[in-house]
Amino acid sequence: MTTIAATFARHQALHDEIAKSHPSLIRGMVWCRHCNKSRRVDPAECLRSGWPKCCKGTTMSIEKPAPVKP
């Protein structure tokens, strides 16, 4: 029989593996699409509990914004 602790440990490991699976997640940065503010995050923790929010309550993006052309 599987214990709750063992099940929890498998879920924790799953989030850690997913966080290591894509360069945008490995980078560990998110950006606001409205004000371009950035924040360093633990991607596995964000997968567990949700992504940070910024301006207007919108979720920050793992995609780096394109440079603004003059």
Q: Give the whole-angstrom CA distance, residue 11 versus residue 14.
A: 5
Distance CA 10, CA 48 (A): 12
pLDDT of residue 2: 65
Mean pLDDT, contiguous 10-residue spans, the chain (70 residues): 70 86 94 92 94 92 82
Q: What does the alpha-carbon distance between residue 54 and residue 61 come to, in Å, rounded to a whole number?
A: 10
**Per-residue model confidence (pLDDT) at position 27:** 95
Cα separation, 66 vs 44, whole angstroms: 25
pLDDT confidence of residue 1: 47
CA distance 11 to 32: 28
> 3-state class of 20 per DSSP?
coil
Looking at residue 44, what is its pLDDT?
94
